[in-house]
Amino acid sequence: MNISNYQKYISEETMMGPNSVRILEELFSQCPLPFSPDDFILDLGCGKWLTSLVIAKETGAKVYANDLWISAEENRNRVIQWGIDKQVIPICEDANDLHFKKKQFDALFSVDSYHYFAGSKGFFENKIMPFIKDGGIVLIGVPGIKDKFEGHAADILSDWLGEDSYMFKSPNLWKEIIGNNNRIESVRTWEMDCFDKAWSEWLAVDNEFANGDRQYFDSIIKPYTCFVGIEIKLR
């Protein structure tokens, strides 16, 4: 994947945090996969469709773009403008209560959103896995805490994140949370390499959220946090 193909779409309007296209670039490079136009992919927590656009272009597959905070209507306008309305289907549902068909998707991607709703044991098995086909793959990138600080998120991150600190979990803990099941072939978690670039591109944006993050970057974000990559392969 060549990130420069997407530069014109990465803007203050479409970014919702550290550059999600960088995170996707690493997920694609770590797990190169053959997709076809007959495949179905779920982009869970797609925000403003930046990730859905990249997934659609890189895979050629049909993408169901699901988000809770951004309405399907708002996203539909953007996607018509981007010319991918035949390939990307907007859905507005809570990830806790999705209504897709069983084993509908060949793959699921989730960038910078899975930590909001999926941080408890059993969530993947009960709420997500039923929608993924046998042999399917799940690729997730979430902000988290480095392994050596696991268990201390509330103390370390609360000046920056307040009560949301608990959402930041380490690569090792995410592996445990995903858990085992006889449909799961493997779970791999890692600290992502794209951290510095994804953050510096977000901190260059001038909006209240980036400005809020900027004041904690050197003292909290950089020393203690990371991006966690999660790859789950189903049998």
Positions in the binding site for ligand SAM (CB under 6 A): 16-17, 20, 45-47, 50-51, 67-70, 94-96, 111-113, 116-117
Q: Residues 22-61, buried b or exposed e (16+ Cβ, 10 A)? A: bbbbbbbeeeeeebeeebbbbbbbbbbbbbbbbbbbbbeb
The answer for residues whose C-beta is within 8 angstroms of residue 164's C-beta and 6 or more apart is none
**Which CB, 91 or 135, lies closer to ligand SAM?**
91
Minimum distance, C-beta of residue 33 to ligand SAM, in the bound complex (Å): 19
Helix (H/G/I), strand (E/B), else coil: 233: strand
**Which CB, 40 or 117, lies closer to ligand SAM?**
117
The CB-nearest residue to ligand SAM is: 47
**Which CB, 3 or 235, lies closer to ligand SAM?**
3
**Which CB, 168 or 172, lies closer to ligand SAM?**
168
Measure the CA–CA gap between 121 and 116, rounded to whole angstroms. Answer: 14
The answer for residues whose C-beta is within 8 angstroms of residue 176's C-beta and 6 or more apart is 121
Q: How far apart are the first and last CA of the chain?
A: 26
**Which CB, 29 or 135, lies closer to ligand SAM?**
29
**Which CB, 77 or 135, lies closer to ligand SAM?**
77
Measure the CA–CA gap between 229 and 139, rounded to whole angstroms. Answer: 7
CA-wise closest residue to 46 among 114, 102, 119, 100? 114
Minimum distance, C-beta of residue 71 to ligand SAM, in the bound complex (Å): 10
Query: Ramachandran region of residue 112, left (φ > 0), alpha (ψ -120 to 50) or beta?
Result: left
Minimum distance, C-beta of residue 224 to ligand SAM, in the bound complex (Å): 19
Minimum distance, C-beta of residue 227 to ligand SAM, in the bound complex (Å): 11
Minimum distance, C-beta of residue 199 to ligand SAM, in the bound complex (Å): 13
Minimum distance, C-beta of residue 9 to ligand SAM, in the bound complex (Å): 11
